[in-house]
Structure 1
Amino acid sequence: MRDVSAAEDALSEAFAAALADWSVHGCPDNPEAWLMTVARRKAIDGTRRRRTGEAVADQLKVMADAEAECWEAGDDEAIPDRRLALLFACTHPAIEVAIRAPLMLQTVLGVDAKTIASAFLVSPDAMCKRLGRAKQKIREAGIPFTIPERDIWSERLQGVLDAIYAAYSLGWSDMDDADLLRRDLVEEAIFLARLLAELLPQEPETLGLLAGMLYAQARCRARRNQQGEYVPLAEQDTHLWDATMIDQAEVVLRHACTFGRIGRYQLEAALQSAHVERRRSGRTDYAPEVQLYDALYALTGSPVVALNRALAMAELEGPAAAIAVFQALADDKRLADYQPYWAARASLFARAGNRREALHAYDMAIGLACDPAVRRFLQRRQRSMLAE
Structure 2
Amino acid sequence: MTDVRAAATADAVAAASEDAYARIVAALIRVTGDWTLAEDCAQEAMALALQRWPQQGVPDNPGGWLMTVARNRAIDVLRRASVERRKLAELAVLALADPGSAQAAAEEEVVDDRLRLIFTCCHPALSMEARVALTLRTIGGVPTADIARAFLVSESAMTRRLTRAKTRIAEAGIPYRVPTGPALAERLPGVLAVLYLLFTHGYNAAGRPAFADEAIRLARLLRQLMPGQGEVSALLALFLFQHSRRDARRDGHGNLLTLDRQDRHRWDHAAIAEGLRLLAGTPQDGPYALQARIAACHATAASVEATDWPAIATCYDRLARIQPSPVIELNRAVAHGYAHGPAAGLALLAQARAGGALDDYPPAVAAEADLTARHGDRDRAAALFRQAAAVAHSEPERRALLERAGELLGGDDRTRRPPSG
Please, what TM-score do these two structures have when normalized by structure 1?
Answer: 0.83
Question: Deviation of residue 337 (structure 1)?
Answer: 3.7
Query: How big is the alpha-carbon RMSD for the aligned residues of Structure 1 and Structure 2?
Result: 3.2
> 2:404 aligned with 1:381, yes or no?
yes
What SS does the corresponding residue of 1:333 show, helix, strand or coil?
coil
In structure 2, do the counterparts of structure 1 residues 20 and 224 end up closer, same or farther at CA, with 3 Å as the change threshold?
A: closer
User: Structure 1, unaligned stretches of length 5 or more?
Assistant: 50-55, 176-180
Question: Deviation of residue 23 (structure 1)?
Answer: 6.8
Q: Which residue type is aligned with residue 393 of structure 2? A: C
8 Å contact from structure 1 (residues 320, 352) kept in 2: yes
Deviations 1:63-94 (A, max 9, x none): 569969x99xxx94674332222111212232
8 Å contact from structure 1 (residues 86, 146) kept in 2: yes
Q: Which residue type is aligned with residue 232 of structure 1? A: T
Match of residue 52 from structure 1: none
Q: Which residue type is aligned with residue 341 of structure 2? A: G
8 Å contact from structure 1 (residues 3, 138) kept in 2: no
> 2:315 aligned with 1:289, yes or no?
no
Question: Deviation of residue 239 (structure 1)?
Answer: 2.6
Question: Deviation of residue 347 (structure 1)?
Answer: 1.0
2:195 to 140, 150, 164: 164
What SS does the corresponding residue of 1:85 show, helix, strand or coil?
helix
8 Å contact from structure 1 (residues 83, 108) kept in 2: yes
Match of residue 84 from structure 1: 115
Q: Which residue type is aligned with residue 276 of structure 1? A: A
- 1:359-370 to 2 correspondence within 5 Å? 359-370=382-393
1:225 to 240, 246, 251: 251
Looking at structure 1, the residues matched to 251 and 86 of structure 2 have their Cα atoms a distance apart, in angstroms, of 54
Match of residue 301 from structure 2: 278
Looking at structure 2, the residues matched to 35 and 231 of structure 1 have their Cα atoms a distance apart, in angstroms, of 38
Match of residue 128 from structure 1: 159
Question: Deviation of residue 360 (structure 1)?
Answer: 3.6
Question: Deviation of residue 233 (structure 1)?
Answer: 2.1
1:214 to 234, 237, 240: 240
Question: Deviation of residue 308 (structure 1)?
Answer: 1.2
> 2:137 aligned with 1:106, yes or no?
yes
The share of aligned pairs that are identical, in percent, is 39
Looking at structure 2, the residues matched to 367 and 320 of structure 1 have their Cα atoms a distance apart, in angstroms, of 25
Looking at structure 2, the residues matched to 9 and 46 of structure 1 have their Cα atoms a distance apart, in angstroms, of 11
2:366 to 343, 348, 353: 343
Q: Which residue type is aligned with residue 138 of structure 1? A: I
- 1:171-190 to 2 correspondence within 5 Å? 171-174=202-205, 182-190=208-216
What SS does the corresponding residue of 1:335 show, helix, strand or coil?
coil
2:217 to 162, 172, 191: 191
Deviations 1:182-215 (A, max 9, x none): 1111111111112222222111011000101111
What SS does the corresponding residue of 2:257 show, helix, strand or coil?
coil
8 Å contact from structure 1 (residues 4, 138) kept in 2: no
> 2:274 aligned with 1:248, yes or no?
yes
Looking at structure 1, the residues matched to 57 and 262 of structure 2 have their Cα atoms a distance apart, in angstroms, of 49
User: Structure 2, unaligned stretches of length 5 or more?
Assistant: 1-31, 96-105, 412-421
Looking at structure 2, the residues matched to 232 and 263 of structure 1 have their Cα atoms a distance apart, in angstroms, of 28
Looking at structure 2, the residues matched to 201 and 220 of structure 1 have their Cα atoms a distance apart, in angstroms, of 27
- Between stretches 122-131 and 218-227, larger displacement belongs to 218-227
Match of residue 12 from structure 2: none
Looking at structure 1, the residues matched to 69 and 254 of structure 2 have their Cα atoms a distance apart, in angstroms, of 44
What SS does the corresponding residue of 1:256 show, helix, strand or coil?
coil
- Between stretches 354-363 and 317-326, larger displacement belongs to 354-363
Match of residue 124 from structure 2: 93
Looking at structure 1, the residues matched to 345 and 236 of structure 2 have their Cα atoms a distance apart, in angstroms, of 30
2:285 to 234, 245, 262: 262
